[in-house]
Structure 1
């Protein structure tokens, strides 16, 4: 909940500053980013700009679905943080869509085709972080009975023995069935 609130509040504060200060005068920041006010009635890259209600309802349903994941699955600290970033950023953009009918964007970079906001940045960082967290899981196999049943990634990388008996991999019933064939 903390990460969701943090992403949401930072997004809304920066959008307030974009409305107040950068609306009429673009500003160069750190030599690489430009603060330029723009509005976006659609989703990424301005897609579906003429379908306001559908975009609002669809993003709200997806955001609520993602926000419910921690109710059904225990997540690690980093998974919770990245999921909070995604949901907080999504809610920031949804609030803009409901309040103004568009999303306030204000960050641009040279050679980048779009203008975005911190909500978009939080969603991107959350998605990348969540993907990395999922890919870095230690247990490759399923652990349905609480006992590890798969090889660990570090064993494969280091060349250690995984404890697998490759010569005798069949159960007794499999051996009987194979001998009858």
Structure 2
């Protein structure tokens, strides 16, 4: 059976991420800011040639094989039946889509376009970064909370 949820979410994340980055690159020069919600949210166009928070500056392309390995591992685990449940499948898809979305930038531009600038938060991420974060949160919820609930239900039935 084809994991339609996984592929749909992954492709949607990549598409929206790339579309948002294209729009930012076409609307703002690097370093320019557009106010979206006064005092809360700006779009600030920056280019990150490293990883999260500018770590490994200039070595961003090294993360392309990592993204490919992540995507391949996700597909392999899906095909082998190791990913069960919509929550886990969605989390894995968000994570894979975010990794691929940033990898596309690294392949095309040797850097990642970041722009989401919340006034109350350090760093300027992009939509792919948030997909990675939310994917990890869903994976964590599935692995801990839902698994604990399943064990409790099984113990209550015995």
* TM interval, short-chain normalised: 0.7 to 0.9
Runs of 4+ residues over 4 Å off in structure 1:
none
> Counterpart in 1 of 2:33?
26
Instruction: Measure how far apart 1:111 and its partner are.
Output: 3.4
Q: Which runs of 5+ in 2 are unaligned?
A: 1-6
2-structure distance, mates of 1:95, 1:124:
18
Of structures 1 and 2, the larger Rg is shown by 1
Contact 1:23 1:36 in 2 (8 A): no
Partner of 1:103: 112
Q: Whose helix proportion is higher, 1 or 2?
A: 2
Alpha-carbon separation, structure 2, partners of 1:59 and 1:43: 12
1:43 aligns with 2:51: yes
- The structure-2 alpha-carbon separation of the partners of 1:27 and 1:69, relative to structure 1 and needing over 3 Å to count, comes to same
Do the aligned partners of residues 53 and 29 (structure 1) sit closer, same or farther apart at CA in structure 2, a change above 3 Å counting?
Answer: closer
The answer on 1:7 being equivalent to 2:13 is yes
Q: 5 Å matches for 1:24-173?
A: 25-31=32-38, 32-72=40-80, 73-135=82-144, 136-137=146-147, 138-140=149-151, 151-152=152-153, 155=156, 163=158
TM-score of the superposed pair, with normalisation by structure 2: 0.82
**TM-score scaled by length of structure 1:** 0.73
Structure having greater relative contact order (Cα 8 Å, sep ≥ 6):
2
Shift, 1:46, TM fit: 1.2
